[in-house]
Amino acid sequence: MFPRPIEKSGATAKAAYQAFLPIALIMWLLPLLAIFLTSIRSAADINSGNVFGWPSEFALIENYAAVFTQSAAAQYMLNSVLITVPSVVISVALACLAGYALAIYRFRVALPLFFLFVAGNFIPFQILMVPVRDMSVQTGLYDTIAGQFLFHAAFQTGFCTLFMRNFIKALPFDLVESARIEGVAEWRIFWYVVLPLVRPAIAALAVLIFTFVWNDFFWANVLTQGESAKPITAGVRALNGQFVNNWHLVSAASLLAAIPPVVCFFLMQRHFIAGLTLGAVK
């Protein structure tokens, strides 16, 4: 193990290390802690200039309730859910199929097609912006929930296919081979042999794509206009304009926007990290 385990350096070193850890953590998360403290302050504190010190009174419930009652935050949150969940389902489903095809069958264009998905995943959004926006306007998908999740699902299919293909490639090929000798139909091999084995990959992709799509801001701006289809990320920015100088409300709204992916991460940490390393660093 590197660096040398701290236990081997003696009790003093270990104690010092353990004492320093929380300090380092607080320094690292200082911006987040500061905004959390702000979000539970009262308006009086903000107006009197006490924005950094300890809150004179706690207004956690008042502030978070105010965000919901004084703005369209509830609508934005709902929109985010309605955009994110179908995106995850569609992209992961498509990627299971495509990943299976690219990993199991040997055909000439398998590798070029795989690279197409990989490359598509790395391109800048701006190169897609005008045609996708124009297409959405033409088909009536502009400023709708569906318009957003269809795009996200298609775009994230690239990443999901990359991940899924590598995952399936690492499975023992004998399983498929012997099923074929038994005369099992190809789609049954996919459904009964491979799909049960890729469950960890599905879990990893689901949390990752959830986070990616939930945190999207660019496409929310490109594909929506009004409040009816805006997700929370774009909503928070709108609130920032609406609650000028009401920093306690802006902070509360920002933290609300951050909660779902954070919960997702803590619940499925192991899968999340496996996904982030693109399956390459195990």
Partner 1 sequence: MADAVVTDTRTRTEPGFFRRNKLAIAPWIFLIPALIFFAIYVVIPIFESLWLSLYQWNGLYDAEGNSTAVWVGFENYARLWGDPNFWTSLRNNIAWLVLYMLAVPAGLFIALFLNQTVTGMRFYKSMFFFPFVISQVVVGLIFGWFYNPDFGVVGTVWKAIFCEETTNILGNTTFRCERPVPDILSSEQWATYGIIAAGLWPQIAYCMILYLTGLNNVAADQIEAARLDGAKGWKMLWYVVVPQLKPATFIAVVVTVIGALRSFDMIAIMTQGGPFGSTNVLSHYMFEVAISEYGERYGYGSSIATVLFGIMLIFISYFLWRMYQDEKGGR
> Residues 110 to 139: which contact partner 1 by CB under 8 A?
110-111, 113, 115-120, 122-135, 137
Query: Closest CB to partner 1 among 66 and 132?
Result: 132
Which position among 67, 72, 102, 252 is part of the footprint of partner 1 (CB under 8 A)? 102
Query: Six-digit token pair at 181?
Result: 């000798």
Q: For residue 261, state whether it binds partner 1 (rule: CB under 8 A).
A: yes
CA dist 94 and 91 (Å) reads: 5
Straight-line distance from the first to the last Cα atom of the chain, in angstroms, rounded to the nearest whole number: 16
Q: For residue 177, state whether it binds partner 1 (rule: CB under 8 A).
A: no
φ, ψ of residue 79 in degrees (nearest 5):
-55, -45
Q: Which residue has the tokens 């995943």?
A: 121
Say if CB 115 and CB 181 are below 8 A apart.
Answer: no
Which position among 87, 224, 233, 246 is part of the footprint of partner 1 (CB under 8 A)? 233
Beta carbon of residue 124, minimum distance to partner 1 (angstroms, whole number): 5
CA dist 136 and 140 (Å) reads: 6
Contacts of 37 (CB under 8 A, 6+ apart): 54, 55
Beta carbon of residue 52, minimum distance to partner 1 (angstroms, whole number): 4
Which position among 10, 16, 29, 44 is part of the footprint of partner 1 (CB under 8 A)? 29
CA dist 232 and 80 (Å) reads: 6
Determine the interface stretch with partner 1 among 65-73, 81-89, 196-204, 230-238 (rule: CB under 8 A).
Answer: 230-238
User: In 3-state terms, what secondary structure has residue 175?
Assistant: helix
Query: Six-digit token pair at 198?
Result: 């890729």
Beta carbon of residue 177, minimum distance to partner 1 (angstroms, whole number): 12
Which position among 186, 193, 227, 242 is part of the footprint of partner 1 (CB under 8 A)? 186
Beta carbon of residue 153, minimum distance to partner 1 (angstroms, whole number): 7
Beta carbon of residue 151, minimum distance to partner 1 (angstroms, whole number): 6
CA dist 282 and 77 (Å) reads: 34
Query: Six-digit token pair at 274?
Result: 């496996």
DSSP string, 184-199: --HHHIIIIIIHHHTH
Query: Closest CB to partner 1 among 206 and 222?
Result: 222
Which amino acid does the sequence have at 93?
Answer: A
Q: For residue 241, state whether it binds partner 1 (rule: CB under 8 A).
A: no
The count of other CB atoms within 10 Å of the CB of residue 57 is: 10
Beta carbon of residue 37, minimum distance to partner 1 (angstroms, whole number): 11
Which position among 30, 44, 197, 267 is part of the footprint of partner 1 (CB under 8 A)? 30
Which amino acid does the sequence have at 275?
Answer: G
Beta carbon of residue 65, minimum distance to partner 1 (angstroms, whole number): 20
Interface pattern 52-91 for partner 1 (x via CB under 8 A): x-------------------------------------x-
Q: For residue 51, state whether it binds partner 1 (rule: CB under 8 A).
A: yes
Q: For residue 145, state whether it binds partner 1 (rule: CB under 8 A).
A: no
H or E, element range at 14: helix 11-28
